[in-house]
A and B are shown apart, each in its own frame.
Chain A
Amino acid sequence: AQTVTQSQPEMSVQEAETVTLSCTYDTSESDYYLFWYKQPPSRQMILVIRQEAYKQQNATENRFSVNFQKAAKSFSLKISDSQLGDAAMYFCAFGEGNFNKFYFGSGTKLNVKP
């Protein structure tokens, strides 16, 4: 079975600074997808960024970027120029090879200080 580990239960960052959230996963598959989801206090899950395992280039979406290290099975999220609206729970997720199931990490609560 696939596992997703987020070792940072909670992190804090000053507004306008940069923060990196860590995620590691365990799988024997070679073809898969990785995701970062954001869950604000409203509890609506919002996709932040997606990475295809077959792509070596790291995905970026505006202030959000990932550092995908396939051999190390690591998938960290970097948030640049942090904003107050970035405060939320962040979940790392793995979409398995036959793409029928997703596995989520336990989440990292991000606090943004003004």
Chain B
Amino acid sequence: SQTIHQWPATLVQPVGSPLSLECTVEGTSNPNLYWYRQAAGRGLQLLFYSVGIGQISSEVPQNLSASRPQDRQFILSSKKLLLSDSGFYLCAWSVHPLEDSYEQYFGPGTRLTVT
């Protein structure tokens, strides 16, 4: 069966420090991968998505970047964190759109607090 991992689960970082959040998927190949941010009590904002290794699409101009160095690895990064980067970050994957089980599967999330 497929599983998705995110780490760390929680993170407290000072303003101006770098960030690296990692997401890995097991049990599937060539998934679509996604990073979302969820502010407190709000919906999900799509930040980046990737349809293959090295292929990253950005949805919102921001202080963050994403990379996909391996088929099932998706990394969210920042060189210098801002207070506004605080939030709950969710990684998700989906199968190829023509498969019947098309949906998004979410990881457990990372709670980031920038102080």
Contact = CB atoms under 8 A, between A and B. Distances in A.
Given A100-B32, A100-B49, A106-B42, 15 more contacts: A6-B43, A33-B102, A35-B103, A35-B104, A43-B88, A47-B105, A91-B43, A91-B44, A95-B103, A95-B104, A98-B97, A100-B57, A101-B49, A102-B34, A104-B43
A30 B99 CA distance: 18
User: Looking at chain B, what size class is its interface with the partner chain?
Assistant: 20 to 34
Contacts of A44: 106, 108-109
Contact of A107 (B43, B102, B106): B43
A35 B101 CA distance: 12
A96 to B, nearest CB: 9
Interface of A: 6, 33, 35, 43-45, 47, 50, 91, 93, 95, 98-107
B43 A105 contact: yes
Given A107-B42, A107-B43, A45 B97 contact: no
B53 interface: no
B21 interface: no
Interface of B: 32, 34, 36, 42-44, 46, 49, 51, 57, 59, 88, 90, 92, 94, 96-98, 102-106, 108-109
B43 A99 contact: no
Contacts of A50: 102-103
Nearest to A47: B103
Contact of B51 (A47, A100, A106): A100
A43 B102 contact: no
6 contacts: A44-B108, A47-B104, A47-B105, A50-B102, A98-B97, A102-B34
Contacts of B102: 33, 50, 95, 99
Contacts of B51: 100
